[in-house]
Copies of this chain bind each other. A is one copy, B any other.
Amino acid sequence: MKDTKVNAAILIIGNEILSGRTQDTNTSTLATWLNSIGVKVKEVRVIPDIEKTIVDTLNVLRKENDYVFTTGGIGPTHDDITAESVSKAFGLKYEIHKEGYKILESYYKPGEFNEGRQKMIWMPENAELILNPTSGAPGFSVENVFCLPGVPSIMKSMLGGITNKIVGGEPILSKTISLKTVESEIANSLTKVQDNNKDVEIGSYPFFHAGKLGVSIVLRSENQSKIDECNIQILKFVNEKKIEVVER
């Protein structure tokens, strides 16, 4: 299957995801946004708050991907070590970001910009800020690595500010066909359609929802006409097999 030109990795940094305490939702938010601007997520990794792990993983991912998006570890506490780790990964100084300092100095009331809060604007030298419309403290980017906070609502609010920094390919389009059937009934026919349509990624996902049981077939491609052609071929065998198409 042809790969898209622009790809990304997502690096979720945080013990709380690995322990199962916190359910990650940033992957799905980031992936949906990236798809919409023509960037395909090739890989996601979740790693602990350990400096060597962050440095080593980042140095692999940033060379293998057009973009890397990290979430987590940029707050004021001892377990927030992303900015320092990114500095080490790039061999850059870890220092106070002057523009970031001014932003937070005016964000907080006089006297409130304490040492804890100042930690949040220690960054790799010459990092570019990612503005935070929700809670002040900015994220940052270095080359192709974009560092965002872990709190989902804050993370999401910062994506609008970086969309113009990401050069994507064609948006990845998708179509879902949901059927009242089971996968084994359509497996052979679907394999034939996939073989005849190499440029469309065809996924098959059973669902159990509100008492309904079925299969969602998802077609993904940058090319709408190829999706349409594939859709026609699927509906053809669906009709022949007298399978009901359902809303999902």
A residues at B contact (CB < 8 Å): 12, 14-25, 27-35, 40-49, 75-80, 114-117, 119-120, 151, 153, 172, 174, 183-188, 190-191, 194, 201-206, 208, 218, 220
A148 to chain B, nearest CB (A): 14
Would B19 and A174 count as touching, CB distance under 8 A?
A: yes
Which residues from chain B contact A115 at a C-beta distance below 8 Å?
A: 187-188
Cα–Cα distance between A48 and B172 once the two chains are bound (Å): 15
A43, closest chain B residue (CB): B47
Which residues from chain B contact A21 at a C-beta distance below 8 Å?
A: 174, 218
Would A20 and B31 count as touching, CB distance under 8 A?
A: yes
Q: Which of B25, B46, B194, B203 contacts A43 (CB 8 A)?
A: B46
Cα–Cα distance between A47 and B186 once the two chains are bound (Å): 25
What are the nearest 4 A-B pairs in CB distance?
A20-B31, A116-B184, A20-B32, A116-B187
Q: Which of B24, B35, B190, B202 contacts A24 (CB 8 A)?
A: B24
14 A-B interface contacts by CB (under 8 A): A15-B201, A16-B218, A18-B43, A18-B44, A20-B33, A75-B204, A76-B187, A77-B187, A77-B204, A78-B187, A78-B191, A78-B202, A79-B204, A116-B183
Which residues from chain B contact A15 at a C-beta distance below 8 Å?
A: 201, 203, 220
Main secondary structure of the interface of A (DSSP, over half): mixed
Q: Which of B28, B116, B187 contacts A20 (CB 8 A)?
A: B28
Would A20 and B35 count as touching, CB distance under 8 A?
A: yes
Which residues from chain B contact A34 at a C-beta distance below 8 Å?
A: 20
A51 to chain B, nearest CB (A): 11
Cα–Cα distance between A187 and B12 once the two chains are bound (Å): 22
Would A151 and B16 count as touching, CB distance under 8 A?
A: no
Which residues from chain B contact A151 at a C-beta distance below 8 Å?
A: 206, 208
Would A205 and B22 count as touching, CB distance under 8 A?
A: yes
Which residues from chain B contact A32 at a C-beta distance below 8 Å?
A: 19-20
Which residues from chain B contact A44 at a C-beta distance below 8 Å?
A: 12, 17-18, 44-46
Would B45 and A75 count as touching, CB distance under 8 A?
A: no
Cα–Cα distance between A28 and B42 once the two chains are bound (Å): 21
Cα–Cα distance between A128 and B40 once the two chains are bound (Å): 36
Cα–Cα distance between A28 and B23 once the two chains are bound (Å): 6
